[in-house]
Amino acid sequence: MTDRYAVVGNPVAHSLSPEIHAAFARETRQDIGYGKLLAPLDGFSAAIETFRAEGGKGVNVTVPFKFEALKFCNQPGPEASDAQAVNTLDFRDGKIFGHNTDGIGLVTDLESGLGFSVRDKRVLILGAGGATAGIMHPLLSARPHQLVVANRTLDKAHDLVARFTGNERFALTKITASPYEALNAAFDLVINATSAGLRNEMPALAEGIFAAGALAYDMVYAQHTPFLAFAQQQGARTSDGLGMLVEQAAAAFEIWRGMRPQTRPVIEMLRTRTVRA
List, for residues 220-267, the tens digit of each pLDDT value: 887 899 999 999 999 999 999 999 999 999 999 999 999 999 999 999
Task: Based on the fold, state whether residues 109 and 35 are members of the same structural domain.
Answer: no
Nearest-CA neighbor of 106 among 219, 15, 17?
219
pLDDT at residue 276, as a whole number: 41
Q: Assess whether pLDDT exceeds 80 at residue 275.
A: no
Distances (CA, A) of 265 to 27, 232, 235, 254: 10, 27, 29, 17
102, burial (CB in 10 Å: exposed 0-12, middle 13-18, buried 19+): buried
116: closest CA among 197, 217, 222?
A: 217
> Does 199 lie in the same domain as 112?
yes
Q: What sign does the CA torsion over 225, 218, 8, 24 have?
A: positive
Same domain flag for 234 and 145: yes
- Domain identity same for 122 and 228: yes
- Average model confidence (pLDDT) for the chain? 93
Q: Are residues 111 and 228 in the same domain?
A: yes
- Residue 27 is predicted with a pLDDT of 96
Distance from C-alpha of 20 to C-alpha of 53, rounded to nearest angstrom? 25
Select the more confidently predicted residue: 121 or 14.
Answer: 121
Amino acid 14: pLDDT: 83
Q: How confident is the model at residue 216 (pLDDT cuts 50, 70, 90)?
A: very high
The domain total for the chain is 2
Position 81 pLDDT exceeds 90 = no
Question: Do 74 and 172 belong together in one domain?
Answer: no
pLDDT at 118: 98
3-state class percentages of the chain: helix first, strand second, coil last, to nearest 5: 45, 25, 35
Q: Which amino acid is at 102?
A: D
272 CB-contact burial (10 Å; exposed 0-12 / middle 13-18 / buried 19+): exposed
* Same domain (yes/no): 135, 233: yes
Q: Which stretches within 29-146 are classed as H helix?
A: 44-53, 66-72, 78-83, 102-108, 130-141
249 shares a domain with 156:
no
Cα(9)–Cα(7) distance, integer angstroms? 7
Tell me which residues are annotated as active site: 66
CB atoms within 10 A of CB 268: 11
Output the CA torsion 259→143→162→90 (10° steps): 0
Cα dist. 68→50, 89, 132, 143, 241 in Å? 16, 12, 15, 29, 23
Q: Domain range holding 16?
A: 3-100+243-276
**What pTM was estimated for this model as a whole?**
0.89
Q: Predicted confidence band at 82 (pLDDT cuts at 50, 70, 90)?
A: confident
CATH number of the domain that 20 lies in? Answer: 3.40.50.10860
Share of the chain above pLDDT 70, in %: 99
Would you say 28 and 257 are in contact if contact means Cβ atoms under 8 Å apart?
A: yes
